[in-house]
Structure 1
Amino acid sequence: MTSESHWLAVAVATPAHSGIGTPLTYRSAQALAPGTLVRVPLGTREVLGVVWSELPEPEPNLAKSAREIAGTLGDLPPLDEQWRALMSFAARYYQRALGEIALAALPPQLRNLNATQMARRLKRKSASKGHQNPEEAIARKELSNEQANALLQIEEKSGPFLLFGTTGSGKTEVYMRAAERVMTRDAHSQVLVLVPEINLTPQLEARFIERFGADAVVSMHSGLTPAQRLAGWLAAHTGQARIVLGTRMGVLASMPHLALIVVDEEHDPSYKQQEGARYSARDLAIYRGRLLNAKVILGSATPSLESWEGSRPTEEGGPGRYLRLAMPLRIGASGSGSGMPRVRRVDMGRQPRGTLIAPPLLNAIEERVGRGEQALLLLNRRGYAPVLHCADCGWKSECPYCSAYRVFHKIDRTLRCHHCGFTERVPRACPSCGNVDIGTIGRGTEQLEEHLAQLLEPLARPDGTPVRVARIDADSTRGKGSLETQLAQVHAGEVDVLVGTQMIAKGHDFRRVTLVAAINPDAALFSSDFRAPERLFSLLLQAAGRAGRDASVAAASEMWVQTHHPSHPLYEALKAHDYPSFAESQLLERAQAGLPPFAHLALLRADARSQEAAQAFLKEAAQTAQSALAEDGHLSSSLVETTWYPPVPMAVQRVANIERAQMLIESQSRSALQRVLAACQPLLHQLRSAPEHRGIVRWAVDVDPLAV
């Protein structure tokens, strides 16, 4: 080996089953700065890697076997130290390989570029137009007192901030003003704005482009083409994009001058990745802000209970981690009211059996449509009916590959599994007994749309044209651009009644909607999932916020809830639009039960060919880990602070013929739980390779899981 060789630790995306979680050693003929993107040989392939650090010359055997890097990506600036620190933390905290996290944060198209191609793209970027100066932007509306006070606090305090603002209180304007101030103060500073779902990106993007100019704003989400993702990433990485709007993947973007992070609708479960590296974008945003000394704003009308408790002031016995900023009034609200719609509950126990839409609600919808207003109906179940069944023999439309039912989709006459995707045509007769009279159980958005169209058929709009009912859910928006088209029709007033799932309940600014109705929300009231009430209250209050967003119709707006439990405390709090009292009651229950945010959880999951194999793996993992940790003087105290529960099947036990089981590990100490999980990693890899566990397909650790 020549004395001119340089030794580098390079992070690559090693396979999860390999047990290699740290960077690999390579040699280079030239010195390369940490953060440099390189192409390196790995097995028989050539892959993308990130230089993590320089290394001293290794011992002779390793030096002899180390392979040489294949090349760099030309003049692309290295990924900075703060970005690498974020990746290291995420890998450590969420128990994943460093290369897996770091490489997943990069656009896939980088893997196929050579130095010449990269130079061409960088040249193209540098030729882009200048940005609009925030000080020269369009005329501003006058801020409300609440908005002005929130901005003053953000300007003067370090944060992080929890912006607790009711729907329609003007949180987005606060975000944009805060971004303006940061960008005006420093000509290079960058702003990251996260939203929970792709469908919320276009309207927010339009507002930011109108304010800051198209060249200052880029988007990052999975709906972009590979070329678009690469272009946006390069703009952010080189500092040319001042504002990045993204879904959860945006929190991992390289932004060397990041000065402000906004997490809109911070309560939304979409911020938690559910496959691969199961990270929380909201929590990483908080960590990244601390790492960079950047300000972080978490915004929501219904904050997560973790954030609400985290913002409880120290003088009230809380941790005071966040500074809570309240904006309880809608823009344009007058008098003593908040401007939120009146909540009306319909007791479905008093309605005729089988009623889908109660007569009083139908009358209210007809009145709204007759006045040229819009109504929005929320039913959080897509398809026509959840189950097809035979009353003669009891057959149901079970999926042959999953422990779930296939959903009946009338629009294309199919039975479709929403877990594995298996789809078949609806049988003409019962496959079990031949009965041709097959019925449905339950209702979905397709059935609600059809039923409403029939009920409203005799009615006409103010201009005499027929009433139009439309549906927005994951099925109706599958085609490229279809969601944007349908939303544009709603905004233009071409739709009178909109039916949909939770997709339509968050973030949209429907100016003509004056009535919102939740059709069948009761199931979550009695769920075994301890987070179900929190999610239901959030969904309903967010849905209510779609009504009366135009101040001229706010006083007459309504939220209807069809329920068999009208006196339930959750609906009482909803009627009063009283999130604080709901949160306090839920937090009291959580504290008594020892649940988050008063405890910290992790799930160890196993997928196998049989349920017995999955549970046996988890059981042995627990026994092996606890024995090994008990003998380790440094870890025995951490083990004492954790509780290990027996393995159980997951809620949906079988998906695509793979059996799934999980084991819960709980601790009052986050650091103790982290030490235990880190010590378990090598033991789990050893168990996975043992002959008796050949039936295991994969295992994973989920830190801070949303469902247990």
Structure 2
Amino acid sequence: MIFRVAIPTPLYRLFDYRPPVYGPEAALPGCRVRVPFGRREAIGILVSLADSSEVPLDKLKPVLELLDARPVLTPDLFHLASWAARYYQHPIGDALQQALPVLLRQGQPDRFQHQTLWRAATTATMEQLSARAERQRELLALLLDHPQGISTDALRAEGGNPALLKTLAEKGLAVPFEHLPALPHADEQGSDILREPPLPLHDEQQAAVEALHQARGFTPILLEGVTGSGKTEVYLQAIQRCLEQGTQALVLVPEIGLTPQTITRFKARFRVPVLALHSGLTDRQRLDAWLWAREGSARILIGTRSAIFTPLRNPGLIIVDEEHDGSFKQQDGFRYHARDLAVFRAREYDIPVLLGSATPSLETLHNALSGRFHHLHLSRRAGNAKPPRFELLDIRQQQLDAGLSTPLLQRIHEHLARGTQVLLFLNRRGFSPALVCHDCGTPVDCTRCDARMTLHRKPPHLHCHHCDRQTPIPRQCAHCGSTQLRPAGNGTERIEERLADHFPHTPVLRVDRDSTQRKHALERIMTQVHSGAPCILVGTQMLAKGHHFPKVTLVAVLDADAGLFSADFRGMEKTAQLILQVAGRAGRADLPGEVLLQTFNADHPMLNTLVHTGYDAFAREELGLRRGGHLPPFAHHALIRAEAGQPALAENFLLSLRELADQQQLLPAGVQSIGPFPSLMEKRAGLFRAQLLLQSRQRSPLHQALAVLTGLMQAHPESRRVRWTLDVDPVDSY
């Protein structure tokens, strides 16, 4: 019997081993094995058993250890990861490992972390201890007061001396035992799963909930609802039905910053266990949550992208909130898209999958318009909230103060005078995006990237946001020696500084990756905002998603032109989504809201379509342009990216790859190759990058081409000097 094992390596193959010399030979696919691999040992996943091997049996090494008595990867997860590896053209060993928590990848036991507790023996009495053994008597009294058991830390907190536990155990008065930690947040009482009643629904919400209740089997649904329309309440009531039927719900959110507030709202509604899965957890916490989900005890799972690989014992519903968000696409390594895997997984489970967004991706919208997805609409806001009023603020020939126009400053003053709050959006953190010599005009560039260093003032330093290189602020220009180095352009730090000067009596709260690095920093800012006192929020796209600010009545986008002329064909779509998402923070309660878009292109046709007729009209126009250009979703793309330490090496590697494929006519009919060409940022983190684009009207020929090219790249003589990756269905072209 031959064990065929997937090992996390860049190689697109399985490895054969003999059964373990010691221990059971019987094993099932999905179990972990410890195997010798070169000069080291590796943890692999058993994929299949075979009765023969291409390698002579005397050359095969035996499995060192079978780590699991039962598959650690349930059959559905094994199938999901295997399918994803094939679809995204990724080595199966790495794909299967990505479906496991970190501790299981390291070979840790597939079980909860048991805790050792102590309790008094059933026959123990205080009379069995001498009156002179005062400390032992105190300890035994504590044990008698906790018949369910108590940890050594808890004993110490109550004044006991855990060092004497061994003495009591030797006297037969104390007994240690292993205790499984209780499932957190589990206060389910009988059949009552609700902690608070559902909110009343308007007619569109009611229709959406009823459609979800009537869904049978695999039903992909797009819930397109304007910001503030009550999509979350639809989620909650759909999950309620799921829980009443005894099944589990998996909810994917785009960013870790949204997870705590989502969990808080779900816990406030339901009595059932609600667990989080995201990168902010410790490895132990993540494994325990993963195991609770596999056992079916965790009824609601909320997590970011990687949570799509959470096992579900009784799946009933999958929800992807803000489905358009680019963070659902893994951008390195195993480049899967969690939204698309959610649809695939729902189809395998034969359950509904709900994709929610105010600004759906054009791929999802195309699926809805073509009838492949059900399409539900929430066209108005919940309660008495009215949609905000949009205004394009033409700033051509205006004097700007750090990006702030005089009309905008006047509007801010008016709204603060009414006792409301203001939100200013600029998707550039730091003080200034460049530091430039005032005498010769030379900017301070990153030595490892084709990018300028961003100036930060808190603390003072230069920072490349592409490779994370950080340096002190130079005293003079490296080109001409001048000391006249000045910031050029504006970032959130600079806007915060200027607003503090203009409005000295109003708190200015900055929300970006820098200001929220410390633990609970974002929660403290949100608490201050939700107090309702007048304030000015300044931030990046962290402010654009999921937040509810009842007192914000003015939202200003300081640079609405960003992305209008992007080299990425998705640039306009991403710009529109970001503008509408951040605009949705205005006027979400009874107070009317307005949105100002500062722009140098007030007559831009797509910008006017977006502002005056809404996202739906914009998206249909953009889909028409995509159809004419044979671009996704009317064609399918894959990018082969290559990078190397020497200029032109990566581009030449891809060129020779394309020429070889053309000469041998290896690409299927209908597959077109474009390039190779340098990446939009050719040099990044010290490596020179190039890419080759493949496109096809049909998916199948494209994947056939990728399989051929993968084999060519692995056998290419330059493959050791060039690092290459495949990106199927890319969402970024840089």
TM-score when normalising by structure 2: 0.86
Q: Report the equivalent of 2:137.
A: none
Contact 1:390 1:437 in 2 (8 A): yes
Q: Report the equivalent of 1:462.
A: none
Give the ranges of 4+ consecutive aligned residues of structure 1 lying more than 6 Å apart after TM superposition: none
Question: Would the alpha carbon gap of residues 127 and 581 (structure 1) be closer, same or farther in structure 2, given more than 3 Å must change?
Answer: closer
**Alignment of 1:613 onto 2:649:** yes
Contact 1:340 1:548 in 2 (8 A): yes
Q: Report the equivalent of 2:313.
A: 256
Q: Calculate percent identity across the aligned residue pairs.
A: 40
| Secondary structure of residue in 2 paired with 1:179 | helix
Q: Report the equivalent of 2:683.
A: 654
Query: What are the Cα deviations for residues 150-180 of structure 1, in whole angstroms up to 9, with x where unaligned?
Result: 1111222342000001111111111111111
Question: Would the alpha carbon gap of residues 694 and 40 (structure 1) be closer, same or farther in structure 2, given more than 3 Å must change?
Answer: closer
Mapped partners of 1:482, 1:475: distance in 2: 10
Q: How many residues align?
A: 664
More deviation, 194-203/27-36: 27-36
Mapped partners of 1:363, 1:701: distance in 2: 50
Query: What are the Cα deviations for residues 217-247 of structure 1, in whole angstroms up to 9, with x where unaligned?
Result: 1111112121221121111122221111111
Instruction: Choose the corresponding residue for 2:523, options 472, 476, 484.
Output: 484
Mapped partners of 1:115, 1:427: distance in 2: 52
Mapped partners of 1:86, 1:125: distance in 2: 30
Unaligned runs of 5+ residues in structure 2 are 116-177
Q: Report the equivalent of 2:672.
A: 643
Instruction: Choose the corresponding residue for 1:120, options 114, 130, 138.
Output: 114
Mapped partners of 1:115, 1:357: distance in 2: 57
1:700 corresponds to which letter in structure 2?
T
Distance apart, 1:115 and its partner CA: 4.4
Q: Report the equivalent of 1:239.
A: 296
Question: Would the alpha carbon gap of residues 120 and 367 (structure 1) be closer, same or farther in structure 2, given more than 3 Å must change?
Answer: same
Mapped partners of 1:134, 1:247: distance in 2: 28
Mapped partners of 1:471, 1:534: distance in 2: 26
Q: Report the equivalent of 2:575.
A: 536
| Secondary structure of residue in 1 paired with 2:79 | helix
What pairs with 1:58-97 in structure 2 (closer than 5 Å)?
58=53, 61-62=56-57, 65-73=60-68, 78-97=72-91
Instruction: Choose the corresponding residue for 1:165, options 221, 225, 236.
Output: 225
Question: Would the alpha carbon gap of residues 116 and 545 (structure 1) be closer, same or farther in structure 2, given more than 3 Å must change?
Answer: closer
Distance apart, 1:104 and its partner CA: 1.4
| Secondary structure of residue in 1 paired with 2:114 | helix
Unaligned runs of 5+ residues in structure 1 are 1-5, 313-317, 458-465, 631-635
1:673 corresponds to which letter in structure 2?
L
Mapped partners of 1:487, 1:651: distance in 2: 37
Contact 1:477 1:483 in 2 (8 A): yes
Query: What are the Cα deviations for residues 8-58 of structure 1, in whole angstroms up to 9, with x where unaligned?
Result: 3332212x1xx2433644524331232223433333433333332333354
Question: Would the alpha carbon gap of residues 55 and 328 (structure 1) be closer, same or farther in structure 2, given more than 3 Å must change?
Answer: same
Contact 2:34 2:63 in 1 (8 A): no
Q: Report the equivalent of 2:701.
A: 672
Q: Report the equivalent of 1:203.
A: 261
| Secondary structure of residue in 1 paired with 2:78 | helix
Q: Report the equivalent of 1:393.
A: 440
Mapped partners of 1:670, 1:117: distance in 2: 40
Instruction: Choose the corresponding residue for 2:480, options 426, 430, 433.
Output: 433
1:193 corresponds to which letter in structure 2?
V
Question: Would the alpha carbon gap of residues 127 and 299 (structure 1) be closer, same or farther in structure 2, given more than 3 Å must change?
Answer: closer
Contact 1:21 1:96 in 2 (8 A): no
Mapped partners of 2:698, 2:375: distance in 1: 25
Contact 1:469 1:496 in 2 (8 A): yes
Mapped partners of 2:662, 2:670: distance in 1: 12
Contact 1:190 1:260 in 2 (8 A): yes
**Alignment of 1:416 onto 2:416:** no
Distance apart, 1:274 and its partner CA: 0.4
TM-score when normalising by structure 1: 0.90
Mapped partners of 1:224, 1:679: distance in 2: 40
What pairs with 1:564-575 in structure 2 (closer than 5 Å)?
564-575=600-611
Mapped partners of 1:455, 1:440: distance in 2: 20
Contact 1:343 1:559 in 2 (8 A): yes
**Alignment of 1:602 onto 2:638:** yes
Q: Report the equivalent of 2:238.
A: 178
| Secondary structure of residue in 2 paired with 1:141 | coil
Instruction: Choose the corresponding residue for 2:383, options 328, 332, 348.
Output: 332
2:5 corresponds to which letter in structure 1?
V
Distance apart, 1:622 and its partner CA: 1.3
Instruction: Choose the corresponding residue for 1:272, options 329, 333, 340.
Output: 329
Structure with higher Rg: it is: 2
Instruction: Choose the corresponding residue for 2:13, options 6, 21, 31.
Output: 21
Q: Report the equivalent of 1:695.
A: 721
Q: Report the equivalent of 1:315.
A: none
**Alignment of 1:287 onto 2:279:** no
Distance apart, 1:560 and its partner CA: 0.7
More deviation, 292-301/409-418: 409-418
Distance apart, 1:510 and its partner CA: 1.3
Contact 2:112 2:180 in 1 (8 A): no
Contact 1:609 1:658 in 2 (8 A): yes
Q: Report the equivalent of 2:174.
A: none
Question: Would the alpha carbon gap of residues 34 and 257 (structure 1) be closer, same or farther in structure 2, given more than 3 Å must change?
Answer: farther
Q: Report the equivalent of 1:633.
A: none
Distance apart, 1:433 and its partner CA: 2.1
Give the root-mean-square deviation of aligned CA atoms. 2.2
